[in-house]
Structure 1
Amino acid sequence: MNTQHWLVACGVAFSATAAPAQDAYPSKPIRIIVQYQAGGSADTLARLVGQGLSKRLGQPVVVENKSGAGGIIGTDFVAKSAPDGYTLLLTVPGPISANLVLYKKLPYDPRTDLRMISDIASQRTVFVVNPAVPAKTFKELIEVIRKQPGKYAIGSWGPGTQPHQMQVFMDKTYGTQTLHVAYKGEAPMVSDLLAGTIQMTSGSAATLKPHIESGKVRPLAVPAPARAKALPDVPTFTEQGFKDPVYVLTAPTSLMAPAKTPNAIVERLSREVAQVIKEPEVQQRILDMGAEPIGNTPAEATAAYKAFLPVALELTAATGASLD
C-alpha cells in the first residue's frame, strides 16, 4: 500500500449534479477554511495554495481560520456550506479520520458530507529521542525501554495521535512499559523533549529538523516506505525491519469541498491546484516546511483516503482514547 499519499477512496458518495452556471465559475471570492489557528503548517499551506489559485482563477481566495474542538468547528462549517465551490476546506488527517473514533457524536461525517479536490502535500514526521537516551536505532530503543519499565515517556500532541498510537503499539507488541504524556500542541511537547521531561516522540520534520541538526534530539526513524526529503539521512522504520501499519502510515493535508459540489467545479479546482503545486517556488516552499508536494486528482485523492481510513481508525481505536 502506497502510504505516502492518502491511499484509496473514502466511500464518499460523490454524486454531483451539473451546474448550469459553472462556466462562469468563479464569479466571486472563494474561502478556504482552516480548522486551526493562523501560523501552523495547515494555515501556511492554505495561504500558499490560495495565493496561487487567486492568480489562476482571477478571483480573491481568502483563508479563514475557524479553530477549536479538534478541528470539528471548521470541518462542520464547510460540510454544511453551500456546495457551490466558494467554501473549501484545507484539512489535516485527524478531523476526517481519527475524529470518527475520538468523538462519539460528530456533527458531520467526512465520508458523506465532504468530497476530495486534491491532496496538497504529505506532512512527514520523524521519531526522535532526547540524546540522554542510550539508543541509536529503534531496535536498540525497544531493548533500552524493556530493561527499565516505567522510566520512559513518549509525548504526543493529543490523545489518539500518531505518537500515542506508537506508544500503545510498542507496549502491546514488545512488552514494554512506557508512559504517554499528551500535550495541547507540538510546541510544548518539543519543549519538554528538549528539557528531558519526556524522552521520545514523533513530531513534524519541519519542527524537529533544527533540533536534529543542532544535536539537541537524536532521530531514529521516519514513518512511510520512503525516506523524508527533508531528512534524507534518517532511515525509515521499514529499512530497520519494522513494517507494521503504525510505522508506515502517513497521510496528507487535503483540499475538500461539500459533498454535492458539482463535478465540473471540483475538477476545475483540482486542475488549477495541480498547476499551482507544480510551480518551482511553491514546491520549494512546501519542501522547506518538511512536507512533500502532491497535487493529485479528485479520484486519486479519494482513492487514497479510502485505503488510509480503516487503518487509521483501527490504530486510533487501539489507543482507547476518547475526547467526548
Structure 2
Amino acid sequence: MRMRFGLAAVAAISTLAWSAPGHSDTWPSRTITFVVPSSAGGGLDSLSRTLASEMGKQLGQTIIVDNRPGAVGMLGTQLVARAKPDGYTVLVTHSAPLLNAPFLFSKMSYDVRRDFTYVSELFAGSLVLAVGKDVPASNMEEFLAWAAQNKGKVSYGSFGVGSLGHLMGAYLSQTKGLYMTHVAYKGEAPMVQDLVGGQVQWAIASVGSLAPHIAAGKLRAIAVLGDRRKEALPNVPTMAEAGLRDNEYKPFGWVGMLVPAGTPPEIVARLEKTARIAVGSTVMKARFQVFGMEPVASTQAEFLQDFERTAPMVERMVKISGAKAE
C-alpha cells in the first residue's frame, strides 16, 4: 500500500464536521478516554497518564488511559478509527501505526488519511541502542565485531513489527550483513524485561525505559539516536559519533494526538490548545527530563506538514531494510 500525502486534501478531511445542535458547546460533559496503543509500564504509557492528568485539569473532566497494545499499535489505532467522532475517544500514539505500518502491511483495517484528524505532534522520541550484560561490547566497534562473529545467532527486540526499533534493527542487520533475528513484542515494557533477562541480546528503545537498567548495570548503552547526546546519558555517544552516519539512524518517530475523522473542528481546536499548554507545563517538562523526551506541541498544520515530509523517508527505509509484516 502506498500513501501519497496531499496537505490540502488531508486538511480538508481533518476539518469535516460531525455535529448535533449544541453538541460541541457542551463538550466535555463526561469522561474522555485516551487510547494508548502500547502496554502499561512503558514510557509512552507513563507520559500519556501525566498528559491526561494535566489536560483533565484544564478541561474540568477526568481523562482515563486505555492501553491497547498489539500489532505495532494497529489494534488501538483501529479502535479509534471506528469510534464515534465526538471528542471522547482520543488516540495518543507513537508514529509506527500511522507512519510505518502502511509501508509494511499489505492490508490495513484503517486509512491513515481518511479515518483521522491530526490534532498535535506532542513530543519526539529519544532512543538508545543497548545490549544485555552478557554481550561482550561496550562500544559500537566491539558490538559490530561481536555480531559479525555470531552471524545468524544474534536476536534483537522491538515493541512491535514495523516499530522504529524493528526498522533500524533490520536496516543495521541488512547493511552490515549480520543476519540478526527480530523478535517482536506487544509493547516496550515486555521487550525491555526480556532484554534484561537475556532472551534477546540488544534493542533500540526509549531512553526512559532503558536508563534505569543501564544505571543498575543490567544493560549497557552503546549509542543514542539523534544529532546530540542525551541529558539522561551524557557519556553515551550519538550513532554518528559511534561511526554510523547514515540518515536512517536519525530518529523520525514522534508521539501524536489524533481523533476520529469528522470530530467537530471546535473540539479539535480545543484539544490542540489544551494539549499544547499541557506539554509546556512544569509537570510535563519534569517527566520529559526523566524519559529523555523532547517536547514539540505542534499545531494541526505543523503536524500534517511533518507527517508529509517524513513519510517518503520511512518508505525508503522500509525498502532498504527489507522489513515486511503480515
* TM-score grouping bracket, smaller chain normalisation: 0.7 to 0.9
By how many angstroms is 1:109 displaced?
1.0
| Deviating more after overlay: 191-200 vs 285-294 | 191-200
Which 10-residue stretch deviates more, 107-116 or 70-79?
70-79
Instruction: Kindly state the Cα deviation for residue 148 of structure 1 after the two structures are TM-superposed.
Output: 4.3
1:78-117 equivalences under 5 Å are 78-117=80-119
User: C-alpha separation between the residues in 2 aligned to 1:276 and 1:319?
Assistant: 37
Q: 2:145 pairs with 140, 143, 146, which one?
A: 143
Q: Which residue of 1 aligns with 2:55?
A: 53
Structure 2, unpaired ranges of 5+: none
Does residue 73 (structure 1) correspond to residue 78 (structure 2)? The answer is no
**Are positions 1:28 and 2:36 aligned together?**
no
Are positions 1:231 and 2:233 aligned together?
A: yes
Aligned to 2:45: 43
SS at match of 2:49: helix
Name the counterpart of 1:14. Answer: 11
SS in structure 2 at match of 1:142: helix
What is the CA–CA distance in structure 2 between the aligned matches of 1:245 and 1:66, rounded to whole Å? 31
Equivalent residue for 2:204, pick from 202, 205, 214: 202
The answer to whether the 8 Å contact 1:26/1:57 transfers is no
Deviation at 1:90, TM superposition (A): 0.9
TM-score by length of 1: 0.84
1:172 to 167, 171, 174: 174
Residue 308 of structure 1, CA deviation: 2.2
Is this contact kept in 1: 2:39–2:186, CA < 8 A? no
Q: 2:135 maps to which residue?
A: 133
Partner of 1:218: 220
**Residue matched to 2:280:** 278
Compute the displacement of 1:209 (Å).
0.7
Aligned to 1:84, what secondary structure does the other structure show? Answer: coil
Residue 127 of structure 1 deviates from its aligned partner by 0.3
- Kindly indicate whether the alpha-carbon contact (under 8 Å) linking 1:10 and 1:111 is maintained by their aligned counterparts in 2: no
- Residues 129-168 of structure 1 show CA distances to partners (whole Å, capped at 9, x for unaligned) of 2344343332342233334433433233333333332333
Contact 1:31 1:86 in 2 (8 A): yes
Give the % identical residues: 34
Tell me, in whole angstroms, the C-alpha distance in 1 between the residues paired with 2:235 and 2:253: 21
Provide structure 1 residue ranges, at least 5 long, that are not aligned to the other structure: 1-8
Cα distance, 1:204 vs structure 2: 1.9
Assess if the C-alpha contact under 8 Å between 2:35 and 2:90 holds in 1: yes
**Is the aligned partner of 1:122 residue 2:163?**
no
Mean Cα deviation higher: 36-45 or 286-295: 36-45
* In structure 1, C-alpha distance between the alignment counterparts of 2:199 and 2:83, rounded to whole Å: 44
Deviates more, 1:114-123 or 1:163-172: 163-172
1:161–1:316 contact (8 Å) kept in structure 2: no
What SS does structure 2 have at the residue aligned with 1:250? coil
**Contact 1:115 1:302 (8 Å CA) reproduced:** no
Residue 271 and residue 88 in structure 1: after superposition, are their counterparts in 2 closer, same or farther (change >3 A)?
A: same
In structure 2, C-alpha distance between the alignment counterparts of 1:240 and 1:200, rounded to whole Å: 16
Contact 2:96 2:253 in 1 (8 A): no
Deviation, 1:10, is: 7.4
Q: Distance in 2 between matches of 1:121 and 1:277?
A: 8
* Residue type at the aligned position of 2:108: L
Helix, strand or coil at the partner of 2:232: coil
TM-score (normalised: structure 2): 0.83
Q: Does the 8 Å CA contact 2:100/2:314 hold for their aligned counterparts?
A: yes
Counterpart Cα distance in 1 of 2:166 and 2:303: 26
Give 1:61 shift.
2.8
Greater relative contact order (CA < 8 Å, ≥ 6 in sequence):
1
The amino acid that maps onto 2:269 is E
For 1:260 and 1:113, locate their aligned partners in 2 and report how far apart those are by CA, in whole Å: 8
SS at match of 1:13: helix
Residues 152/17 of structure 1: CA separation in 2 closer, same or farther (3 Å cut): closer
Q: 1:288 aligns to what?
A: 290
Q: What amino acid is aligned across from residue 129 of structure 2 in structure 1? A: F
SS of residue in 2 equivalent to 1:31? strand
Tell me by how many angstroms 1:17 deviates. Answer: 4.5
**Number of equivalenced pairs:** 316
Whole-angstrom distance in 2 between the partners of 1:235 and 1:148: 24
